[in-house]
Homo-oligomer: A and B are copies of this chain.
Amino acid sequence: MIVILKQNADQAQLAQLENWIRAEGLDIHKSEGVNSTILGLVGDTSKIDIDLLGALDIVENVKRVSEPYKSVNRKFHPKDTVVDVGGVKIGGGNFAVIAGPCSVESESQICEVAEAVKASGAAMLRGGAFKPRTSPYSFQGMRGEGIELLEKAKAKTGLPIVTEIMDISQLPLFDNVDVIQVGARNMQNFELLKALGKVNKPILLKRGLASTIEELLMSAEYIMAGGNEQVIFCERGIRTFETATTRNTLDLCAIPVLKERSHLPVIIDPSHATGVARLVKPMCIAATAAGADGLIIEVHNDPAHALCDGKQSLTPEAFDDVMKAVEAIRPYAYKMGE
């Protein structure tokens, strides 16, 4: 950590600051320039609050040199984490596709889609029971009943199930859920993250619409700090000035950046990123090529009558076509370090 002092900083206050830093167990290397003096803080600075230092009268600026995250940091955990979901592995060279409808709507719907996506090679089933919707007047999901229907589809197909939690109070309903999804709007719902840190299940953590890579890493750190080491990152498009064609801008460069900084697996959601069914295929191919550990894709047996997000859902036939293209490209995908 580097502390840049203001010109003509008061010497008494400076001495006080230096004493405080040393009391925190850190060494100080001081560089006195013509225009500014710099303190280099040497030691474990992860517990130092950067804002606190920045607020001091004599300080012009503070810059972090080392990362503020530890458990998720590849530096301290160089090997890829492999998350195991009932035998389905993801990460460390294992690739898995999660597919299913945006919302669970009925037993026949979810079971039909589950069988179709399994036949095409999907490794897990997704389906929304609790639905975050911008409008209070939109369909809010089947909630507890939706989870029961997912369990039926799991019983029929053997596919592990992935579904979103929206509030801590819903946690008891997730006993038979295999992967708990944290949606983009809840990426910084810190109380929820803390609760999920105490759960013994993989967490699919979606990047917020306007969250930086570092914030995403810090949110995973919340979960890991609680003791749960099974976190899967999911990039699903970020919000930018470009809103005309696609709902969001898919940041595929997040794949190598996240995998460089962290040992956790990274998957891509091209359905929410683009919001347009016909753009899902090229983005699935590109994401796989960029080295993603998996994909999460919306598939509906009747997109035109889906209760939400039909516009971005693939038919089972289109999904099958995507899976073939993804399988074909996998051997040529980017692998870090090669």
Contact = CB atoms under 8 A, between A and B. Distances in A.
Interface of A: 2, 4, 27, 29-36, 38, 40, 42-43, 46-47, 49, 51-52, 54-57, 61, 63, 65-66, 68-69, 130, 132-140, 166-170, 185-186, 188-192, 194, 208-210, 212-215, 218, 221-222, 225, 238-246, 249-253, 255-257, 260, 273-274, 278-279, 281-283, 285-291, 303-311, 313, 325, 328-329, 332-334, 336
A153 to B, nearest CB: 22
5 nearest A-B pairs in the assembled complex, by CB-CB distance: A29-B31, A210-B210, A55-B310, A31-B40, A289-B289
Contact of A34 (B40, B42, B69, B185): B42
A310 B134 contact: no
Nearest to A283: B253
Copies in the complex: 4
Residue of A2, A238, A287, A289 most packed against chain B (CB within 10 A): A289
Contacts of A308: 49, 51-52
B34 A31 contact: no
A18 to B, nearest CB: 14
B289 A51 contact: no
Nearest to A190: B132
Contact of A136 (B36, B222, B255, B313): B222
Nearest to A17: B304
A168 B166 contact: no
A255 B130 CA distance: 33
Contact of A2 (B2, B46, B218, B257): B2
B4 A65 contact: yes
Contacts of A213: 242, 244-245
